[in-house]
Structure 1
Amino acid sequence: MRLGLETESCHLSFQHGRMDIFKFIEFTHELGLDGVQINIVPDYNLDPNWGTLGSVDPEHLKKVKALINKYNMYVEIDTKNLEYDHLKEVIEVSHLLGADIIRTYIPIVSNVRNEVESGSEGAYDPAKIRQDFDTKCFDEGVEKVKKLIPLLEKYRIKIALENHEYETSEELVDVVKKVNSQWVGLHYDFGNSMMVWEEPVQAAENMAPYTLTTHFKDHIIIEDPSDKYGHVVCGVPAGEGNIDLDAVFKIMVEKSDLKRINLEMCYPYCAQFKRSPGTGGVFKVGEGAFKVEKQLFDYDFIKPLQYYYPHEVSEELLEELIVKQMEGVRTGVKYLKSLRDKYCRD
């Protein structure tokens, strides 16, 4: 089992000019890891089209690939959405870098769902509208993915659809079955199922047979009085949260064909629940992965949903969290390696 690192694990260093893709590859090598997962989704201070990759200038891509090859690393690409023109360009860039897997996800118009969920039951049936809306999104996703298959086959690249904070494992398995192509599978994120009220272990059981790649991470639940559910999902260094990572890793080793596990250390970070309680089988916080823990920082100083962009609070906090994030990466890598040593022969 080869281990890799996702650029999101160092998002603060990327966003504030402390790291670029070359330094990231060097850092990954220093950690003793085998591959990189490059997130090309735009964000604060990143390239507006290519995120942490920085550019798709041919000379730049040659240098990136040369450094990856120097360390005999694998490379994967993380993007979003399923628009044909965008994915065509991403597939071509992936080919130039030597990437064989692209992570993306089915786009969901969350503001539409919010309007539906806040609607008056006297005027219409919100549950029926939500169901129709969900079905439409997933059906459209199936058709968009099918359109990409000739390109994937041409370049010998696979697409992995992620459980990206909205989709339940059963919904994604249904999509993959409908697409029915060797070039399309799933991306199992070890923590994102929590945002749809689904236990990560259950999501792993459902998704493992179809999983092509991963985001290895850990979460807790913390209080957030400002949120509609009063709680949010909070990222912590792997091994310090409440996800049963041992059980999930074991499932992935035994029930999938995975040859790689990628650490995406989402700390500092918090996310809101994206679906109604019970959607994924869990109806309330309090037990298992959904055990409630204390907030990471003084609530009067910083709110949970501000963790991801600490510069908006203070420069001092930003500097503190840059250091803590890098320490968290090292902690997560050590824990991930311990699971590999426990369950894998190589």
Structure 2
Amino acid sequence: MLKIGLDTESLHLWLQNKKMDIFGYIETAHRLGFEGVMINLIKDYNLDPEWGTLGSNDPEHLRKVKALLDQYNMYVELATKGIGYEHLKKIIAVADALGADVIRTYIPITLNNDMIGNSGGEGLYDPSKVRGDFDPLVFDEAAMELTKIIPLLKRSRIKIGLENHEYETSEELVRVIRKINSPWIGLHYDFGNSMMAWEEPVQAAENMAPYTVSTHFKDHIIIPCPEDRFQYVVCGVPAGEGNIDLKQCLKILLDKSTVTRLTVEMCYPYCAQFKRTPGTGGVKAVGEGCFKIEQPLYDYNLMKPSQYYYPQEVSKELLEELLKKQMDGVSKSLTCVKRLMEEINPAF
């Protein structure tokens, strides 16, 4: 039976602005009808610099988190970034304590000697680091590094899901997985992230599904953004309100992968820059299909797309408005995925 969970990123405004902690998050996910959670162990605004939304790796804290998850019979997966052995060793220890059997991570990309995704807030724009190209040897190096952690994964019975995280095309990631060739390291298919690498989500699903062990279910639109080098950015919206062919992507996953969970990552409000040269993933320009251009969520003079993720930096009123919209968006996304599953196969 396919279970539906919720990633902490889906309520990032609530967590970062101290409207709830990890216990309140689990309670909320359960109340809304989710059957599991993915917990981001990544620093960001107002979060623990090492353990992110989890808050701590203190054994007593972890025991209490696990007890609440067990009380509601909810699955738990963890999300981190980076592929270093010592880092992943620490994450595996926390996964063991919580009963998590999947860890999502992604490959840091080096541009001009700067490691992307390892400094500042996750939602910050940094146009200086969006160059479009990087040394492809990073993928060979990643395969070699990840191989080191396999014995620990095997011992703990935990799998790693390597995500298509904005820079990587699906083909690049599939090559990494084939090179590693281990049942303990697969792919994490994110329904929307391929767009930032100019790749159709349906194509990414086709390529990644046979290797997919975990997921992020989300929806996106393209909006104008005068401050960006490409003049457009990818914008998160509640599932069903964007232009990704979610039904087709989901059908591919159900037909060609062995996943037993769909984790909703409702990235609203959020905008992401295109990270690669147009055409890298097969799409050369915005304008058609899921790359159709839509209106911005807010008037540019009120709030720029680069400010959507941290509206508290614009005004308290916008933060309060988006807190409500974010919670509503989570509910809409759950309704959407249930409807699509029913349409694909009423047995679900």
Partner Cα separation in structure 2 for residue 139 and residue 52 of structure 1: 31
Q: What amino acid does structure 1 have at the position aligned with 2:144? A: E
Aligned length: 334
Matched, 1:217 2:218: yes
* Counterparts of residues 40-55 of structure 1 (less than 5 Å): 40-55=41-56
* Counterparts of residues 65-144 of structure 1 (less than 5 Å): 65-112=66-113, 130=133, 133-144=134-145
Equivalent position of 1:317 in the other structure: 318
Partner Cα separation in structure 1 for residue 195 and residue 135 of structure 2: 18
> Offset at 1:111?
4.7
* Counterparts of residues 262-341 of structure 1 (less than 5 Å): 262-341=263-342
Q: Could you say what the CA RMSD is over the residues aligned between the two structures, in angstroms? A: 1.5
> Offset at 1:343?
2.7
SS of residue in 2 equivalent to 1:322 = helix
Query: Rg bigger for which structure?
Result: 1
Q: TM-score, normalised by structure 2?
A: 0.93
Confirm or deny: 8 A CA contact 1:218 1:238 kept in the other structure.
Answer: yes
SS of residue in 1 equivalent to 2:47 = coil
SS of residue in 2 equivalent to 1:165 = coil
Q: What amino acid does structure 2 have at the position aligned with 1:186? A: L
Confirm or deny: 8 A CA contact 1:221 1:234 kept in the other structure.
Answer: yes
Distance 1:73 1:116, change over 3 A: closer
> Offset at 1:199?
0.3
> Offset at 1:116?
9.8
Partner Cα separation in structure 2 for residue 116 and residue 312 of structure 1: 22
> Offset at 1:308?
0.1
Superposed CA deviations along residues 185-227 of structure 1, whole A, max 9, x for unmatched, are 0000000000000000000000000000000000000000111
Q: TM-score, normalised by structure 1?
A: 0.94
Equivalent position of 1:57 in the other structure: 58
Partner Cα separation in structure 1 for residue 159 and residue 237 of structure 2: 30
SS of residue in 2 equivalent to 1:11 = helix
Question: What is the identity percentage for the equivalent residue pairs of Structure 1 and Structure 2?
Answer: 62
Name the stretch that deviates more: 239-248 or 107-116: 107-116
Distance 1:262 1:300, change over 3 A: same
Unaligned runs of 5+ in 2: 115-126
Q: What amino acid does structure 2 have at the position aligned with 1:17? A: K
Unaligned runs of 5+ in 1: 119-126
Equivalent position of 1:164 in the other structure: 165
Distance 1:111 1:153, change over 3 A: same
Name the stretch that deviates more: 333-342 or 204-213: 333-342
Partner Cα separation in structure 2 for residue 60 and residue 89 of structure 1: 16
Confirm or deny: 8 A CA contact 1:253 1:343 kept in the other structure.
Answer: no
Confirm or deny: 8 A CA contact 1:220 1:292 kept in the other structure.
Answer: yes
Equivalent position of 2:34 in the other structure: 33
Equivalent position of 1:193 in the other structure: 194
Higher share in helix: 1
